[in-house]
Every structure is written in structure tokens, then in C-alpha cells.
Structure 1
Amino acid sequence: MTPRIPDLVPGTLRRTWAAAGHCPDLDLYALFRAHRMRHPHRTAVIDAQGETSYAALDTEARCLAAGLAEAGIRPGDVVGVQLPNSRAAVAADLALAALGAIALPFPVGRGGREAVSLLGRSGARAVIAATAYRGSEHARELAELAERAGALPALHTVIAAGPGPVPAGCLSLEELTGDGRTGDERTGDEGTRDGRTGFAPERPDPDSAARILVSSGSEAEPKMVAYSHNALAGGRGNFLASLLADGTPPRCLFLVPLASAFGSSGTAVTLARHGGTLVLLDRFTPEAALAALRTHRPTHVLGVPTMVRMMVERCGTEGRTADGPTALILGGSALDPATHDEAARVFGCPVVNLYGSADGVNCHTGLSQRPPRPDDGPGIAVGRPDPAVCEIRIAPPHGATSDGTGEILARGPMTPLCYVGAPELNMRYRTADGWVRTGDLGTLAADGTLRVVGRLKDIVIRGGANISPAEVEGELSSHPDVREVICVGVPDPLMGERLAACVVPRAGREITLRSLCAHLDTRGVERRKHPEHLLPVTGALPLTPAGKPDRAALRERLAATLPDEPARTG
């Protein structure tokens, strides 16, 4: 049974935002359909299979929606989607919106244990999964899990997508869409030549749940956050609208999975809200990303700093890219000034530092603001909050602080409905008047600029004293030999925790713990905050399936390499 999905924002506020024009007040499929009717031949998706027009994508989505309805999917049902970036993933998004169902996308590569957690806690009725993807057989694994007694009691349908034999216990996505032909082969003004001429889309309440975003946060299990049609197309849509230089429909290259929280700006925002084009890679490599830039000329590139660092390094041997995009939009982890400057030089465009999360916060530096500089103040500057996206205020966690640092709270048109299947998270992170407690620490300057200092939960407690890893990362990122750095706490029998620096050095450079600490001395960082362990990382930092630095994997590497006694820095 699908858990109840209440809206924890007062309804009067939601209506105020809609009346102010911050939300389109239409469901996602209706918004997409309007673009399809105006520009049927405009390219909607470019993926490994080629280009797909709005008309062809609409046909495919409607056919899938009809097939899902015949398979028993009803408005309000949760349907999991575990597909790589592709036209099929986008069609699934639109089909579920047309049915009034709730999409629960999660990236390929997520293991069976996490999939069971997500599908079970959400009460998902069905799941669409890849038949085979880079050695993983997600559809088969999920079908086997569904057959186990009590594992997924609500799940009644597993749909296999992609080439190859259909696993036992699965339906075929091709069969659900009709006669097995591709969307490009099924044409027609109404996109219903698969014989299902009776299909009519639902018209769900724009303030009802449309999608559940999965957050790989610090909880024991991934958090699931429910968003409405208005919160996605409105609040999140306004974020992208502010980065469109002349109102031209965007052409967005997504380096991150569409199934990630960052990727929720794909179907709902790029297509449904703005009538743009999605350029998709089924797997990120710097070579494939640079090739897509040159071939498809996207206006916007969305990724994480680690990906862009890898692309910049590759460009060092291949030369600067021609005709840069309107903007690189980087989120997922802190953006250091060195990466900002290098990327702006190589790609010849503004680099936007995005601060956002699935929990419901968003702020960015925009197309014209100067890059963040450590000397400007603590933490990382992430721009000025936009009330069309969300307002932000600072709440001191334990009484007043002399420097104005406190927990970042957010509320606005993009604010999600609630956490799904986790009432304890709603109690912990939501206020009675609709504010989201982000768990992040920050400050608001007199000019309204938000600076993110760190996370409440990421604080390392060394001998009773608090250390913010984000603060130390920000200072170490300016070291001339450091390409990437993540700091994590590691257990210590004497001090409780000690700080470890996980560093990717620049090509041809060598990093030592002593040189890092000497650099921190020149930056005025207290000795008690200096890292006491160093983990050199070759190539790039490990990433989670959502494209964020994998801190858990780094802690595992450290545990396998730490000496009995910590290194002394002198």
C-alpha cells in the first residue's frame, strides 16, 4: 500500500505562489503536451539511439501509459524506474505523469538491497528496470526479489526494458507499448496508432505528488522526498529559467543520471516547463561528454565538479572546446575557485555554482556573479536566494552565534510535499509552517548572499572540539598541487575522531600531509583542524550512482590503509 503523502506546506501558501505566477498550475504531462502541439517536430531527446521529436516521444509515452493502465497502474500508484539516461527513461516519466501515477526513479547501479528499501517503503506497485546494463540485470533481480515471500508485498509488476530475452516473471516494455515498434515508427497527430485509441490522460491536481526524489544523504536508508507537479515545473523550473540567456528553449546536456535529484530538472523542467531538448549520455566519461559538447552544442551542461575536472584535464591535451555553452551548472559538492576558473577558461562560459538538494533547497551564483573566493568569508558563496524558487533563512542551532552561522532553512515554490514512508524525518526536518531544515550550516550576508559553511552531521568531533570538513576542504582546494579533495572523519580510540584528507593530486604533482598542513598554516587555519591522515587517490574521487563524491567508499579505503598510530604533522 502506498504510504500517505501529505503536503506539509500550508495550502494558502501554495495558492499564493501560484497566484504570483511562480507555478504554472498544470500537471507535467499537460505542460509537455502543449509544447508537442506547438512544435511537434522539435527535437526532444538526443541519446545513443539518435534524435527523437516531441511528436514521436509523445506517441511513445501515450502508448506506454495505455499499456501501464492495462497492467493495473492507477492514479496515485508509485512506480519505480531504474533505467539509464535514455529516451525510454524520459518516456516513462511522461507516461506516469499522463496516468497521474507517481514516478520513483533511482539510478542504475543501485544494488538490490537499496532497491528493496525504496520500493518497499514507498509501496511501489510496479517497477520499470533495465534488462541488462553494464553487467547488471536489474529487471531479473527485481523480479526474483518480488517473488520472495514478504519482500515487496505491494509490487505486482516488473517491466523489463531494453534488448535481450525478457526475464522470467517480467513483462516486456515493448509489448506494453503496443506492437514493438519504436516511437519514431509510430506516428500520427494523436500518437495512438498502436490500437489504443481510447487512452485519455488524467488531469491530476498540480499540487499532488508527481515524483519521489531519492537522496543519498546521511540517513541509514536513502531518503525519499515527494514533489508535486507545481514544485517541479514551478520552483525547479524557475531555477533553470533564471539561467536562460534570451528565453530560447534550453538544450541541456545531463552528465548526471536523470534518476538523481539533480536529474529531476530533465523531463519536468527542460521538456515540460521550457520546451527544450535533452542531450543524454547513458554513462559519463570525459571523452563522451566532450564529444557530446562538440557534436550537439548544448546551451547548458549539468554535472558535478568532479566530472568537469576530468573534462578540463582531458581538454589540456585536446585543446579548448569551440563555441562554448551558455553555462556549466555544477552541483552535488562544493565548487572551489580553481575548478571554477579552469572550467570558465576551457569552456569559455560562466560556471554556475549550484547549492541544492532533494530535501528542498536551491540557490546558485547565476550567469553574471563573480566566482566564490575563500577570502570573502567562511565557506562557499552560492548566490542570493530567489523567492520564485525558495526563500532561505538562517536558524542558529543552539542559540545566537557571534558570526551569524546557523542552520539553513528553505521554503518556497519548490518545497517538496514531505518525506515518504518516514514520519520521523518529517518530524525532524520540517516545521509546522512548511520550512525545510536542511541540516546545512550557513550565513546570509548583508547583501543577501548565502554562504554554505558545512553540515551539522558532517562535523568531526576530535577530542570534544568540532571540525567542519567543508571548511578544511575549501582551504585545501586552493593548494596548487590539489585537483580534488574530500575530508572525512575516521574513528580514533584516543581522540574519538581524526580528520583525513582524501586528495587527487594534479598531473605530475605529489602530495604530502606535511605540505597540506603547511598550506593550511598560511591560510590561518587552526592546527587542531589540520588533517592527520592522508589518502592519495589516483585518477578521480569515487562517485555514488547519483554522481556525488562517495564518502562512504573513501572511509572504507581509509580503514584498510590507516596505520595503528596517526601520522604526526610536526
Structure 2
Amino acid sequence: MSWTSNNGIVLRDLVPHALRRQWVREGHCPDLDVYAAFSRQVRARPCRIAVSDELGSLDYTDLDREVRRIATALRAAGLGQRDIIGIQLPNGRKAVAAELAVAALGGVSLPYPYSRGARDSASLLGRARAAALITLPRPDLPTLCPVFVFGPAPDGCVSLDHARIPVGPWLPAVIDPDGPARILVTSGTEAEPKMIAYSHNAFLGGRARYVRSLHTGEGPMRNLVLAPLSSSYGSLGVPVTLAALGGTLITQPGFDPADALRLITEQRPTHLFAVPTMLRRLVSQPRQSTEDTSSLRAVVSSSAAFPPSLLPECRKRLADNVITVYGSADGVNCHTARTGISPATGTGLPDPAVAHLQIRSPGGRLLPRGEEGEIIALGPMTPLCYVADPGLDAAYRLDGWVRTGDLGQLDRNGCLHVSGRLKQIVNRGGLNISPAEVEQHLGAHPDIAEVACVPVPDPELGERLAACLVQHPGTEPLTLAALAGYLERERGLERRKLPEVLLSLTELPLGPTGKVCRHTLSALAADRPAPPPPRQPLGEPARR
């Protein structure tokens, strides 16, 4: 299958069409487009709250009215099927309605975090050849495509505030469910953000199955999503929580830990979706006498490794059921729900109806259980392709399979254990060090609240490992020697893997999606005084 936008962007499905159809026949995908699925929810539960934000709540009927109002304005401006439309809005009803309006037109949405600056915005819109952008008034709006805003329209922009609700029935576009629905944008914490195209069936099938499996008990899901809805992790919001599952989406415009605890008390969510850094800041908040988290059936963490020391704090403050999700925008998913595995291990049991996982050698050979290699994935949630980047398709797609760039192994029970990122391996004088492994050990230190390990350039060794950390309030400042002693004596870490640079911070810098920004940390750590000469012999040349 191949799809071409009105501006010439070609999106090819790299999964064989026969396999896509097989997943539909097996019931893994509904063979619907996102707006058709949402319309079913509107008819089935018109008075259920669809979205709750800082302005109040909208039920499914009122949300659909807003969706059709926006879609009518976009259609009147000449936008429709085969248009890619950027969306840069904070979490809330406007972002939700805009994404569904693009789906109703038959267009492809390109949401990206509101915190991204003008340069990133222009890059994403330009590479995708977007036909328009929906955003809020701001001084640095791009000029390479028509801009629609909520609120007063700056010169050259069109305000959506005055668009009228259409008279008569809305006639949605006829859409191929295997065609593109939304483009996911990676966090860009390691390199320039990648764009990955996903189909309607991938969201309503594979991704919806993963989110549904997190739910236990009766009643609909009420999901408090603290990650940006425009992020890969946050894409479980509009197409999944609403269109596929008919649940309620609870949001805040930007992450605020104290306000998030208030929302849990007042809005009574069943599930909390956040990244580990957000959870750490939540549990560090002073407890209020009115705080009530008893509605939470699960706390779901994704987008970064889960520190072992955070688990008891989340269970004590938020919910006993803590689930970690291994996933990425590139198309992989695995989680710890209902496996009996500790969330602190970062493992899970793969679901082939979401994504079947294999472990391959650098040469592409399938590895047996127990051997470490690159994790690859293929299943109903597998994306179509990378956007405007055939080089990435050639490098990371193998006969439809997605190369994740992550290291891991499957144990004898079929459970996945993730070791780290291939690209995040630090090459110290020919010895490979996994920052993720060292982070996992440092995360167990009782005085450390947050930690990230990054490479810093070194003229003699090529790279050294830097430990960047935030300590719990009231603890004695840690030294590099104290960390080394802890890692060697209490954690059994090999001496060659010990950090050689220490960067202590009041908080770790976050990127637009809420993930720790390793670019920034590497730059900060590189400004530290140069470490002493090597304290251990160099090794053999690194083997990648």
C-alpha cells in the first residue's frame, strides 16, 4: 500500500498487505478509521464525559459537535483527504478536538509538543510538507503553511473561534483503515526527532489492545495522561482512550505535580500515565490532608527506565499496581501487567496481538532465548514507515520488522529483559559500557532521587561515563568516590563500568515530551573539570 499527500509526501506500508488483512480477520484490528470509531462511541455513550481539562468537562456529544465545527472550518479552507496537518497545542479539549477534526476530514495529523520552539516546528512541518498548522497565538508562528489558531488571530492566520457548527449531518470522508492516521514524533533527546506514520488499524487494533490489557474490573477507563498527548506515549489518549475504548481522558495543560495530585483526588481517574521523572516529582510533593488516590487501579510508567527505588514510593503514595511499559514511537510494546514480574526489572511478556518480538544478532540472525541482541518487532501496531526518510526505512525496517535499536533478551519463559540502547553504549578506550545498566544500579541508592548516565568526550579514551543525579532533600552530598564504593561493594559492578564524572543537579532537564534530555546533560557534564588519568587498564577494541 502506498499513500501520497497532496504536497507529494509518499508513505509506503512496509508490512505486507496480506499480513495486515490477516490481522483484521483474526480480530486484532477493527477495520475502521479513527473518526468512524469515535462516532460509534458518540452514539453508544453520548452523555459520558469524554475529556476533562482546566476548563471543565465535555461529554461525547459536545466533543463531537466541537470536532465537526473545526472540521467544517478546515474543509472550507480547502483542506481534506491527503493533507498532513500539524497540531501544536497543550493538553486539553482543543488538542483533542483538533486531532479528531483532522481524522474526520480524512487527513493525517502531525501533533508535536507545544514546548517545541520555532526552529523545531519549522523543521517538522517542512519535512512533512504539512498543508496547515493548528496552534495557539504566539510570536514565533511559522510562515511556510496556513496557520489556524484558537483565540485572536495574528496577521495572516485564521481564528477557529468563530467557525460555525455545521447545519445538517456531517459527511465524513471515506478512509482506508490501513492508510495513515497520525504521524508520531520521537522525543529527539538523542538526535533530531524522527517522524513515523501509523495507520488507523494500528491505533484502534494493536495500541488499543495494549491499553485495554492494563484495565481490570468493571466500568470505563478514566485515564489521567500527564505525558503530552502529542508524544508517542501520549498517543494512547485520543485515538485509543476515546475512539477505541470509549473512556474518559483527563488532562492538564502542562505537567504540574501538585495539580496532578489534585486531579487524582477530584477527577477520580482509574489509571495514571506518566514518565518516571514525573512520578518521582509526584511522590516528592507534600501530602495534603484532602489527598485521595484510592480511585487509581494502576500507575503506568513508560518512556524511560523505571528506577527500583521509585517502586515502593509509588505503591505507598499512589497505587499498589505499578506497571512499566517498554515501548517507542518506532513500533514496539511490552509491559509488566499481569505477569508477576517486578516493574523495577523493566521486563514484560510480549503480546503477539500487539507486537511479536524477536532478538537478532548484528548480522540479522535469530538468537535463542537467553542470548542478548537487538530487539525487533512486528505486529498489528507496527507503523507504516518513517516519514520523508528512506534512509531510516532501509536501516531500521527488515521485511516489515522494526529494528528498535535496543538491546535485550527473552528468558526461558518468553519474558523480555531490556538492557539499554545500542546508540547509548559508551566506548571507553575500547570497552563498551551500558549507561542503562549503571543507571539501574545507581537508582537503587537510597540518597538518589533521579539519575541519568551519559557519555562525555575524552581526548585520550574517546568517551567517559558521567553520572548526573538529583539527591533526596536532606541527604549528604555524594562524591564520585562514594558512588564508586557503593557500585563496587554493594552492587557488584565491574570497576571498568564506574562513572568518572559526577554532575549534581537540583533537577534533571526534560525535553518536550517529558523525558530526560541527554543532549543537555552531556553538554553540562562536558563542562566539568577533566578527570584524572585512567585508573584501570584499557580493554580490547570494542565489539559492537
Q: So what's the TM-score if we normalise by structure 1?
A: 0.89
Shift of 1:403: 5.5
Deviation of 1:567 (Å): 8.7
Q: Which moved more, 1:244-253 or 1:113-122?
A: 244-253
Given the alignment of the two structures, is residue 382 of structure 1 paired with residue 347 of structure 2, yes or no?
yes
**Offset at residue 496 of structure 1 (A):** 0.5
Structure 2 counterparts to residues 102-113 of structure 1, below 5 A: 102-113=108-119
Using the aligned pairs only, state the percent identity: 48
Partners of 2:467 and 2:533 lie apart in 1 by 12
User: Residue 188 of structure 1 aligns with which residue?
Assistant: none
- Offset, 1:218: 6.5
* Aligned mates of 1:115, 1:567 — CA distance in 2: 43
Is 1:477 the equivalent of 2:456?
no
Structure 1 residue 344 displacement after superposition: 1.2
Pick the aligned partner of 1:533 from 495, 501, 509: 501
Q: Could you tell me which residue of structure 2 aligns to residue 412 of structure 1? A: 379
Residue 214 and residue 6 in structure 1: after superposition, are their counterparts in 2 closer, same or farther (change >3 A)? same
Q: Does 1:429 align with 2:435?
A: no
- DSSP 3-state at the match of 1:233: helix
Q: Does the aligned pair in 2 maintain the 1:362–1:389 contact within 8 Å?
A: yes
Aligned to 1:186: none
CA distance in 2, matches of 1:372, 1:287: 25
* Correspondence for 1:174: 161
Matched, 1:563 2:529: yes
Superposition pairs for residues 109-508 of structure 1, below 5 Å? 109-131=115-137, 137=138, 140-142=139-141, 145-146=142-143, 152=144, 155=145, 157-162=146-151, 165-175=152-162, 177-178=163-164, 194-197=165-168, 199-217=170-188, 220-246=191-217, 248-315=219-286, 321-367=292-338, 369-372=340-343, 380-397=345-362, 404-432=371-399, 434-508=400-474
Looking at structure 2, the residues matched to 551 and 318 of structure 1 have their Cα atoms a distance apart, in angstroms, of: 37
Counterpart of 2:157, as a letter, is C
Whether the 8 Å CA contact 1:127–1:159 is kept in 2: the answer is yes
Deviations 1:502-545 (A, max 9, x none): 0111121122111111111022211111000000111x311111
Q: Secondary structure at the match of 1:76?
A: coil
1:63 to partner: Cα distance: 1.2
CA-CA distance at 1:294 after TM superposition: 0.3
Deviations 1:354-398 (A, max 9, x none): 10000000100004623145xxxxxx4321101111000000225
Question: Mean Cα displacement is larger for which, 393-402 or 222-231?
Answer: 393-402
Distance in 1 separating the partners of 2:182 and 2:247: 20
Q: In structure 2, what is the Cα distance between the partners aligned to 1:404 and 1:292? A: 44
SS at match of 1:141: coil
- In the alignment, the residues of structure 1 paired with residue 298 and residue 166 of structure 2 have an alpha-carbon distance, to the nearest angstrom, of 43
Aligned equivalents of 2:213, 2:49: Cα separation in 1: 22
Amino acid at match of 2:512: P
Moved more, 342-351 or 384-393: 342-351
Contact persistence 2:466–2:499 (CA under 8 A)? yes
Match of 2:43 in 1: 37
In structure 1, what is the Cα distance between the partners aligned to 2:370 and 2:229? 38
Matched residue SS, 2:51: strand
Q: Secondary structure at the match of 1:202?
A: coil
Q: Whole-Å Cα distance in 1 between the matches of residues 515 and 190 of structure 2?
A: 16
Cα distance, 1:568 vs structure 2: 8.0
User: Is 1:51 equivalent to 2:88 in the alignment?
Assistant: no
For the 8 Å contact 1:488–1:551, the answer to whether it is kept is: yes
Q: Match of 1:383, as an amino acid?
A: G
Report SS of the residue matched to 1:479. Answer: coil
Query: Could you say which residue in structure 2 is the equivalent of 1:182?
Result: none
Q: Map Cα deviations across residues 446-504 of structure 1 (whole Å, 9 max, x no partner).
A: 10110100111001000011110001111111111111110000000111100000011
For residues 350 and 319 of structure 1, do their structure 2 counterparts lie closer, same or farther at Cα, with a shift above 3 Å needed? farther
SS in 2 for 1:225: strand
Residue 150 of structure 2 aligns with an amino acid whose one-letter code is A
TM superposition shift of 1:566: 4.4
Q: Which residue of 2 aligns with 1:97?
A: 103
- C-alpha separation in 1, matches of 2:290 and 2:72: 49
Check whether the contact 2:204–2:240 (CA below 8 A) recurs between aligned residues: yes
Task: After superposition, give the CA deviation of every residue in 1:147-201 in whole Å (9 maximum; x if it has no partner).
Answer: xxxxx3xx2x101123xx31111000113x31xxxxxxxxxxxxxxx34436411
Q: CA RMSD in A?
A: 1.9
- Partners in 2 of 1:57 and 1:503 — Cα distance? 43
| Correspondence for 2:25 | 19
Query: 5+ unaligned residues in a row in structure 1: which ranges?
Result: 132-136, 147-151, 179-193, 374-379
Residue matched to 2:539: none
Q: Could you give the per-residue CA deviations for residues 181-225 of structure 1, whole angstroms, max 9, x where no partner exists?
A: xxxxxxxxxxxxx34436411121111000000002467421000
Find the partner of 1:554 among 508, 521, 526.
Answer: 521
Partner of residue 541, structure 2: none
* Residues 268 and 293 in structure 2, CA contact (< 8 A), matched pair in contact too: no
Q: Distance in 2 between matches of 1:47 and 1:499?
A: 42
- The structural deviation recorded for 1:352 is 0.5
Distance in 2 separating the partners of 1:158 and 1:320: 42
Range 55-64 or range 507-516, more displaced: 507-516
Q: Do the aligned partners of 1:2 and 1:122 also contact (CA within 8 Å) in 2? A: no
Measured against aligned partners, the alpha-carbon deviations of 1:406-438 in whole angstroms (never above 9, x if no partner) come to 000001000000000101000000012x10000
The secondary structure found in structure 2 opposite 1:18 is helix
Could you tell me how far apart the structure 2 residues matched to 1:481 and 1:61 are? 49
Amino acid at match of 2:90: P
**C-alpha distance 220-553 of structure 1, shift in aligned 2 (>3 A):** closer
TM, length-normalised to structure 2:
0.93
Contact 2:465 2:501 in 1 (8 A): yes
Shift of residue 236, structure 1, vs aligned partner: 0.5
Separation in 2 of the partners of 1:92 and 1:425? 29
Q: Which amino acid aligns with 1:542?
A: P
Q: Deviations over 1:276-328 (max 9, x none)?
A: 00101001111011000000010011000111111111155769744140101
